[in-house]
Amino acid sequence: MISIFIVFAVFILFYVNKMTNSLCIQKEIPEERQHKVFRTINVLITILLISSYVELLYT
């Protein structure tokens, strides 16, 4: 179960980063702010994935 979830999580993180990059290009976000945008989104998605895994673990 954990190996499937890890593969799923990596795919989700990759796809979200791809969409974040598209957002930065479309909205013309400066290079110095892009790092903060990526970090914030990655932290929030990681928290979401961890809480999803914990929920699946205890159900």
Token code pair at residue 52: 């999803």
> Cα(21)–Cα(42) distance, rounded to whole angstroms?
12
**Does 1 have pLDDT greater than 90?**
no
pTM of this structure: 0.87
- Give residue 2's pLDDT: 86
> Cα(43)–Cα(36) distance, rounded to whole angstroms?
11
Band the pLDDT of 59: cuts 50, 70, 90: confident
Question: Cβ neighbours of residue 14 under 8 Å, at least 6 residues apart?
Answer: none
Per-residue pLDDT reduced to its tens digit, 9-57: 999 999 999 999 999 999 999 999 999 999 999 999 999 999 999 999 9
Q: Is 11 left (phi over 0), alpha (psi -120 to 50) or beta?
A: alpha
- Give residue 56's pLDDT: 92
